[in-house]
Structure 1
Amino acid sequence: MASIKKAADAFTREASIKRHLRKHLAVLGFQKAKDGSLVLPEGGKEVVRTLHSAQREERLREAQGFVASASTKLLGKLASGADVVPSRIRPSLQRVSSGTWESDLFRLVALSWSVPVSVGFGRRIRYLVWDESNGKLIGIAAIGDPVYNLSVRDKLIGWSVEDRGARLVNLMDAYVLGAIPPYSSLLGGKLVACLLRSRDVYDDFAKIYGSTEGVISGEKKKARLLGITTTSSMGRSSVYNRLKLHGVDYFRPIGYTGGWGHFHIPEELFSEIRDYLRSIGHPYADKHEFGDGPNWRLRTVRAALDTLGFKQDLMKHGIQREVFLCETASNSLKILGGKSGSPKLDSLLSAEEVGALAVERWMIGRADRRPDYQTWTREDFLNLLAAHPVGVATTVARKTAR
């Protein structure tokens, strides 16, 4: 009798997950092609935001108490348009430590992103970007361990599987990067991106992770930050377009992802999948330590789909994201490819120097052409923390029309 009940429970659980998954994908607008793969609805960036909406709403619901408390304490750290004098903007980087008010501010700002921000993976360095002229926040950036399998990156460098295992430790990935209003209206996102290619970030990495042990290989490695990858969340990206200062590439496009992933599987459904795998004794239910695989969450969902009889093509959401690479040294690719030698850092400037160049290159001229940033107030930021936020452009237009 016990075995019959167990089998019945497993059948009920499987049926529930299948219904939940099909319903969720249908709500997002996915259609199923003849080959079993998912077909995206058309609509550009708004479609991407919609696909992420369930996951974003989950996170906002879970963070309601934090948002209410942190907003009250930290809203004064954000700028209104009237606080910003473009010609006086003086950017600076502050590394964020866990358990501080700066960490709370980072989290609060990250929650305003329309595409949910990852918490990072393995090694992690987070930054706040300040405007020293007024003490207000320009934006945030964070780098963490890179994706293990990234074909366009590996092909560019010329890596074999063994090469990647030996030298991936010298790369990081910018898993969050951007400016907040009103600085975002002044192309502040370009400024924040450029700051990652600075001597400050290079030295921080050397201090924290320069002498490290590979979790997978267990070998002692002298890590150097030779490059930073990042991936646009909305297909092609205007932030990284022509991202040069004085003829130096700060990020450059290297190709597109294949359109596979798990972002369209919300946390509630993922938890249900883990419970199911746990009930049948599958190891991926709780196999989430770094070193257990290149992407535990993706592999967990794939394992569940396979067990439930779904095609793996359900993990191909079809959104090909543009991949960018920042090379900190002029010979980064050669060293990553296996050549010996020291990194050539002649063009690697301090954050202060990079910030000054970026303000001059993009922000001052933008302010003259688009003065509507001045209508933004810090209270408008709270709208970005709504489940369905009104876009910044819409908010500015509405305020201007009053």
Structure 2
Amino acid sequence: MQRQRTKASVIPVFTLEATLKRKIRLHFTRLGFSKRPDGTLVCPASSKDSIRQLHHIQRDERIESATHLLSEFLPGALRYFASGSEIDPAMIRLSLIRVEANTFESSLFRTAALTWSVPVSNGYGRRLRYLVWDDGHDRLAGIFALGDPVFNLSVRDDLIGWTSSERSSRLVNILDAYVLGAVPPYNMLLGGKAIACLVRSRDIYDAFASTYGSTTGIISGEEKSARLLAVTTSSSMGRSSVYNRLKLDGVSYFESIGYTVGWGHFHITDELFEQMREYLRLSKHPYADHHHFGEGPNWRLRTIRVALKQLGINEAVLRHGIRREVFFCQLAENARKILATGKGKPDLSTLKTVDEISEMARRRWIEPRALRREDYKSWSRDDIPRLIRGLPTGMSKVRTA
């Protein structure tokens, strides 16, 4: 009897193991990846259209999981999206609305995030989420969200020049913009640039101070006095047109600091990830039910690596080859020095308010773009559902700046 119980407990694991290995290999093949002899993946292409195609399965999963949101919430929320014909660029006035969980604003945030062709992260740990509102027209212009940064990011760490222990104690002063962008028709007016600049505002600095000024480090678990000195972000499409040359009144808002090495887990779908967790759970591995909150932004990556190792799949498959441009935003003029040394008072002399940034960005980008290109006027809010589902809209191409 003892032998039968042991056998019965093993069979489900091995059955799932074989099935899961086949699914992972088939998934990579369907995406168009091939393998080098060392196990690393060869990306089928590096164009923006190719990158969108690599994300399409993950995006389809997100759309399917949002069925209730799209059927029950979106019809009534469409009126908060703008049609181009009702927008007077000279009247655009951007403001921020803080998003709390399980609210109307959070549903609108989720809906807006679904308009992009690449699925967005849910973020980790500390989070500040915002709707960017156009008060001049009472419409949604875009969204952004800041969350805990990844622990290992070589281009950021090389820029600051800190040691591993210094990073552990001071990373609490950095957030990552894991979601950021404008929705139509504001994206056609370079609204993405304006929204990116709002990250470097006195309003965001103060919001962080009031929410997380006294916080617990997600990696160390220690109580720390935190100040938002810098924000990082990375492009989802290789090189970014939104963050490059992002200056207002002579002040740089984001600067390019290099590229990632093309290593990560974006090509592991949510469905595959949950099956990996189930596999680890059946084999009683402790990582199966490690909750990602409090475990750091690398929780998902660590779990995938453990599952791949136990499945006998070379973790080199996580080297997908899609390099992302990384950008660094200093809210304090002396942010790098403070992060490197742990000493100094933040120099906030060039921080502007959201109102001031909105005014400058409108004059710098939005109004000139409207004069050069009038295609934004053809956009209709009624095309939002089709845009979300990846179907053709009334416009042949929606610009994403």
Does TM, scored on the shorter chain, surpass 0.5?
Answer: yes
Q: What SS does the corresponding residue of 1:277 show, helix, strand or coil?
A: helix
Deviations 1:178-211 (A, max 9, x none): 0011110000000000001000111100110111
Q: What SS does the corresponding residue of 1:128 show, helix, strand or coil?
A: strand
Deviations 1:53-110 (A, max 9, x none): 1111111111111111111121101100011111111111111122221111111101
Deviations 1:132-180 (A, max 9, x none): 1110111001101111111110111011110011100100000100001
Point out where structure 1 has 5 or more consecutive residues left out of the alignment: 398-402
Distance in 1 of aligned mates of 2:50 and 2:260: 18
Distance in 2 of aligned mates of 1:204 and 1:394: 39
Distance in 2 of aligned mates of 1:352 and 1:396: 27
Q: Check the 8 A contact 1:144/1:175 in 2, yes or no.
A: yes
Among 263, 266, 271, the alignment partner of 2:269 is 266
Q: Is residue 164 of structure 1 aligned with residue 186 of structure 2?
A: no
Q: Is residue 151 of structure 1 aligned with residue 158 of structure 2?
A: no
Q: Check the 8 A contact 1:149/1:294 in 2, yes or no.
A: no
1:339, distance to aligned residue in structure 2 (A) = 4.6
Among 319, 324, 331, the alignment partner of 2:322 is 319
Bigger Cα displacement from structure 2, 53-62 vs 283-292: 283-292
Among 50, 68, 73, the alignment partner of 1:47 is 50
Letter in 2 for 1:326: C
Distance in 2 of aligned mates of 1:220 and 1:186: 43
Q: 1:289 to 1:297 in 2, by over 3 A?
A: closer
1:119, distance to aligned residue in structure 2 (A) = 1.3
Other-structure match for 1:300: 303
1:214, distance to aligned residue in structure 2 (A) = 2.2
1:291, distance to aligned residue in structure 2 (A) = 4.2
1:392, distance to aligned residue in structure 2 (A) = 8.2
Q: What SS does the corresponding residue of 1:153 show, helix, strand or coil?
A: helix
Q: Is residue 359 of structure 1 aligned with residue 325 of structure 2?
A: no
Letter in 1 for 2:349: D
Aligned-residue RMSD, C-alpha: 1.6
Other-structure match for 1:383: 386
- Paired positions, count: 396
Q: Check the 8 A contact 1:278/1:285 in 2, yes or no.
A: yes
Distance in 1 of aligned mates of 2:385 and 2:323: 31
Q: What SS does the corresponding residue of 1:21 show, helix, strand or coil?
A: helix
Among 333, 343, 347, the alignment partner of 1:330 is 333
Other-structure match for 2:98: 95
Q: What SS does the corresponding residue of 1:306 show, helix, strand or coil?
A: helix
Other-structure match for 1:345: 348
Deviations 1:332-368 (A, max 9, x none): 1000111522111111000000111011101111111
Distance in 1 of aligned mates of 2:275 and 2:221: 34
Q: Check the 8 A contact 2:203/2:353 in 1, yes or no.
A: yes
Q: Is residue 78 of structure 1 aligned with residue 81 of structure 2?
A: yes
Distance in 2 of aligned mates of 1:41 and 1:298: 23
Q: Check the 8 A contact 1:94/1:128 in 2, yes or no.
A: yes
Other-structure match for 1:227: 230
Q: 1:340 to 1:104 in 2, by over 3 A?
A: same
Q: Is residue 130 of structure 1 aligned with residue 146 of structure 2?
A: no
Letter in 1 for 2:396: T
Distance in 2 of aligned mates of 1:28 and 1:392: 29
Other-structure match for 2:241: 238
Q: Is residue 192 of structure 1 aligned with residue 195 of structure 2?
A: yes
1:38, distance to aligned residue in structure 2 (A) = 0.4
Q: 1:393 to 1:332 in 2, by over 3 A?
A: farther
TM-score (structure 1 length as normaliser): 0.95
Letter in 1 for 2:209: A
Q: What SS does the corresponding residue of 2:55 show, helix, strand or coil?
A: helix
Q: Is residue 253 of structure 1 aligned with residue 267 of structure 2?
A: no
Distance in 2 of aligned mates of 1:312 and 1:133: 51
TM-score (structure 2 length as normaliser): 0.95
Other-structure match for 2:23: 20
Bigger Cα displacement from structure 2, 85-94 vs 235-244: 85-94
Distance in 1 of aligned mates of 2:57 and 2:266: 10
Q: What SS does the corresponding residue of 1:251 show, helix, strand or coil?
A: strand
Q: What SS does the corresponding residue of 1:337 show, helix, strand or coil?
A: helix
Distance in 1 of aligned mates of 2:300 and 2:103: 29
Deviations 1:12-48 (A, max 9, x none): 2111011101111111000111221100112511111
1:55-66 equivalence runs, <5 A: 55-66=58-69
Q: What SS does the corresponding residue of 1:156 show, helix, strand or coil?
A: helix
Bigger Cα displacement from structure 2, 216-225 vs 52-61: 216-225
Letter in 1 for 2:27: H
